[in-house]
Structure formats: C-alpha cells, structure tokens
RNA sequence: UCCCCUGUAGCUCAGCCGGUAGAGCGGGUGGCUGUUAACCACUAGGUCGGCAGUUCGAGUCUGUCCGGGGGAG
C-alpha cells in the first residue's frame, strides 16, 4: 500500500499522507462520499470524478441484500457493475445491522438478522462478509464489527468489544488468504463504546494486528460533541501512527476539523449529501436552508467563492425555486455543491498543514462559519 | 330586473340531522453524522363577509345588506 506521511503539523496531530490502492493514489485528509448502493444519491459518477473525488464508500450489507453478490460477481466486480473506475471502500454493514434491522442476534461467531427490505432471514459470519467484499473487489474492505449505542452498560460494551476483536482476527486471517488476487486492503475497527479503558484496550489490540489501516468506530452515534471530542482525542492518540487513520461516520465541517486535528486521515458521512437533498447548503458563513422565503429574490450564487457547477451557473433564487417545485435538479445541484464545499474545505486544510498553520485556519474558519 | 350558486387560515377548499372550526399547499422553527431519509418533527395564522333574528346554544336555520360566479331577459 506504500503508506507515506508527507507532512505533519508541529502543534497538532494533523498530517498529510498518501497511499496507493488498486484504483489509484489517495491523498489525505480525504472525505469519502457515501454511495450506499453504489451510487452517491443525486449525482453522476462523472460529477464526482470531475471534482477530484477518487474514493467513495459503498455498503456490503445493502449490496448483499440488493442486488446480491451473484449479480455483482457476474458483472465482474463492483467497479464494473457500477461503472466507477476509481477506488471504493465497502463498509461491512455491521453498523446497519446495529441501526436498522428489526431483528438481529449477535452470537460469538455470527450475526443473524432480518432484511429491512422484505423481512427475510439471513446469517453472516465475519468470513462471509470478507468474502462478499472479495467478490466486490473492494479497494478497502471493512470487517464485521459490533457497534454499540452511547448508553450501553459496561458489561455489554465489553462483550461487544470482545466479539469485535475476535471477528477482526478472523477477518484478517480470511483476507490474507486472498488479498493478492486484487490488492484490496482490510482496515481494523476500534470499538470500546464510551469507556476509556475499553477504548485503550481496543486501540492497542487492533493496532497489534496486521491491518494496513485503522478505523475508529462507535463514535458520532448520538453522543454530545464534547464527549465525541474527548473520546476521539483519547482513542486517536492510541492507534498505530504508521497506518492510515479512518474515523467512521463524520461529518460536518466542525467534526471534520476536529478529526484532522487529531490525526485522522479519512472520514465518510452521509451528512453533506443528505442535508443537500433536504435543502441545506454549506457556505463559508454557515449553513443556509435554501427553501426559506428570504432566498426567493437572491440572485447571487449559493457561495461566491465556490467553483461548483451550481454556483457557477445558478442563483439561490433559482435553486430555491427548484426545491419548492420539487424538481430533481434541486437536490442534484445541492449535492454537487455540498461535496465541492467539503472538498474545498479539506484542500484548504491541507494547504494549512503544508504551511503549518492548521490552528490558524481552524480559528479563521470557525470564526466565519460559526459553530452551529 | 329576476333566478340559481357562492363568500370559512396567506391560497384552494372540508365541515352529516345546529353544540363556539379542520386539511392540503404556503409561512416559521428545529433536526438529519460507518443512508430504510428529494426525509422527519414541531409551530403560527380564522370575531367562519356585515348586521339583525330564531334557539339554552349558529360556520351550520331565517331575513336583509355587501362582494364574487353563472343563467334568463
């Protein structure tokens, strides 16, 4: 994978790194848009690649249920199936089974659950989940893990962590048998809920295994921002620094900045794309809800400093009109804009790390963006 | 001039045999963080055209005036 740290901030843990995946080189920090079903909702693949995005996230659980791995196998893998020749990280689906399955039972060696689509019964082992991602030919694979809610009692958190660790070891063993086939990289996931001793144990254990990258899971699951920051800082400080760091499921500009400050290299989130579809847009002066009446006659772009297609061609008034009339173009333009905004934010952050002025940038950004 | 229909929230309209009003849209607010989400939740607006009757009680019945729409001449 050839992981290299290109630049480190002197007064924070922020860093610029690069590594190579089967479908091209990754420069971090990087935000991965979420395309659960192989499509980032409301945007074409070309729109993504044109704006420099070369790593998206898909979901093993969703793709396993629909269309099923047989079809993806017949298509020649996920890249061919969805017609995306850049990198794909596939999440395992542990989080989905945790968050949405109406029925689930986790035992020591497998997970049983019912489909959210038709209620059908399914069983997956950690090996099955790696096998699915092998069929997909994912560039980054994630192992099945057990995610827990913030209010989970200690004993249950311990149990979930132990199962996660056991499955991590099994996943890596299975992956090692086949990884040469296509070069996909398996990341480990740190759990431990909101207990520092468990976070420490998990970070150390996952770091001790032979994963090419380390992910932090189980954060940003409903806890207050201060708790998130506390556990992020604590956990990120304990993972192997010679590997890429991936914080799962964030976020907003504030969360992203916090993550980068703590040495996180990669993150993914539905937030920018989902709020876009729901009519909320990022600007350097904070978010705006474009459907509000006060934008009805604003003939300027969403964000003057933005170079996205929406900002180059359309006014706030028109985009509001698209949303009010329920035109599909509204969510499309909004999504493109929000992804561009996050990309621009991250490239500014990268520049600030280059010049070792990350904290100055953070202060300046939050000063104008606000902390909403 | 006569006849019929009609006047209820910003808009379009519901309100059975009378018991002090609702919806959709629009407005406002909040939410969305390893996607079951172009979604969800909450909220503000009405002396029911005016006046006078009947009635214990009228948006609902009666009279009349005013404003719309249609028809006949």
Q: For A18 and B34, how far is CA from C1' in angstroms?
A: 22
- Which residues make Cβ contacts (< 8 Å) with residue A24, sequence separation at least 6? A54, A86, A87
- Regarding beta strands A121-124 and A55-59, do their DSSP bridges make them parallel or antiparallel, or are they unpaired? unpaired
Strand B reaches within 7 A of the A99 CB: yes
Q: SS3 for A133?
A: helix
Q: For A76 and B31, how far is CA from C1' in angstroms?
A: 41
CB-to-strand B under 7 Å, chain A 101-130: 102, 116-117
ipTM surpasses 0.85: yes
Nucleotide nearest to A272 (CA to C1'): B33
Q: For A333 and B46, how far is CA from C1' in angstroms?
A: 39
Cα distances (Å, whole numbers) of residue A194 to A143, A148, A186, A271, A326: 21, 9, 25, 23, 42
Q: Are A3 and A265 in contact (CB under 8 A)?
A: no
Active-site residues of A: which are they?
91, 268
pLDDT in tens, chain A (372 residues): 899 999 999 999 999 999 999 999 999 999 999 999 999 999 999 999 999 999 999 999 999 999 999 999 999 999 999 999 999 999 999 898 888 766 789 999 999 999 988 989 999 999 999 999 999 999 999 999 999 999 899 999 999 999 999 999 999 999 999 999 999 999 999 999 999 999 999 999 999 999 999 999 999 999 999 999 999 999 999 999 999 999 999 989 999 999 999 999 999 999 999 999 999 999 999 999 999 999 999 999 999 999 999 999 999 999 999 999 999 999 999 999 999 999 999 999 999 999 999 999 999 999 999 864
- Regarding beta strands A111-114 and A121-124, do their DSSP bridges make them parallel or antiparallel, or are they unpaired? antiparallel
- Which residues make Cβ contacts (< 8 Å) with residue A275, sequence separation at least 6? A281, A287, A338
Q: For A311 and B39, how far is CA from C1' in angstroms?
A: 24
What's the whole-model pTM score?
A: 0.95
- Which residues make Cβ contacts (< 8 Å) with residue A185, sequence separation at least 6? A1, A21, A139, A140, A141, A179, A212, A213
- Among residues A90, A122, A130, the alpha carbon closest in space to that of A104 is found at A122
Angle (CA) A265 A267 A270, round 5°: 165
- What tens digit of pLDDT does each residue of A182-231 get? 999 999 999 999 999 999 999 999 999 999 999 999 999 999 999 999 99
* Dist. CA A365–CA A349, nearest whole Å: 10
Count CB neighbours of A224 within 10 A: 9
Strand B reaches within 7 A of the A280 CB: yes
Nucleotide nearest to A36 (CA to C1'): B35
CB-to-strand B under 7 Å, chain A 226-245: none
- Regarding beta strands A24-28 and A15-21, do their DSSP bridges make them parallel or antiparallel, or are they unpaired? antiparallel
Question: What are the backbone angles phi and psi of residue A229, rounded to the nearest 5°?
Answer: -60, -45
- What tens digit of pLDDT does each residue of A34-44 get? 999 999 999 99
């Amino acid at each position: 994978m050839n992981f290299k740290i290109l630049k480190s901030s002197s007064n924070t843990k922020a860093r610029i790194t690069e590594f190579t995946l089967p479908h091209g080189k990754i420069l971090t920090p990087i935000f991965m848009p979420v395309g659960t079903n192989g499509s980032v909702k409301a945007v074409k693949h070309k729109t993504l690649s044109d704006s420099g995005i070369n790593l998206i996230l898909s979901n093993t659980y969703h793709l396993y249920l629909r269309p099923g791995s047989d079809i993806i196998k017949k298509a020649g893998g996920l890249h061919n199936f969805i017609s995306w020749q850049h990198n794909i990280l596939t999440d395992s689906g542990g989080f989905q089974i945790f968050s949405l399955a109406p029925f689930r039972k986790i035992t020591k060696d497998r997970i049983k659950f019912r489909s959210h689509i038709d209620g059908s019964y399914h069983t997956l082992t950690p090996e099955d989940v790696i096998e699915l991602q092998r069929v997909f030919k994912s560039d980054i694979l994630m192992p099945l893990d057990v995610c827990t809610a913030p209010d989970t009692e200690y004993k249950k958190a311990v149990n979930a962590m132990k199962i996660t660790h056991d499955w991590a070891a099994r996943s890596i063993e299975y992956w090692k048998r086949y990884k040469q086939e296509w070069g996909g990289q398996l990341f480990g996931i740190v759990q431990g809920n909101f207990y520092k001793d468990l976070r420490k144990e998990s970070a150390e254990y996952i770091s001790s295994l032979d994963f090419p990258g380390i992910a932090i899971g189980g954060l940003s699951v409903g806890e207050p921002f201060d708790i998130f920051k506390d556990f992020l800082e604590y956990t990120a400080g304990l993972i192997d620094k010679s590997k890429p760091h991936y914080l799962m499921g964030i976020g907003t500009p504030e969360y992203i900045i916090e993550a980068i400050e703590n040495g996180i290299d990669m993150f993914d989130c539905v937030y920018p794309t989902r709020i876009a579809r729901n009519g909320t847009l990022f600007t350097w002066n904070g978010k705006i809800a474009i459907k509000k009446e006060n934008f009805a006659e604003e003939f300027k772009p969403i964000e003057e400093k933005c170079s996205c297609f929406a900002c180059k061609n359309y006014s706030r008034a028109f985009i509001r009109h698209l949303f009010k009339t329920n035109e599909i173009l509204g969510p499309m333009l909004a999504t493109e804009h929000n992804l561009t905004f996050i990309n621009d934010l991250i490239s500014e952050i990268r520049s600030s790390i280059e010049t070792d002025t990350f904290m100055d940038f953070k202060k300046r950004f939050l000063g104008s963006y606000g902390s909403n």
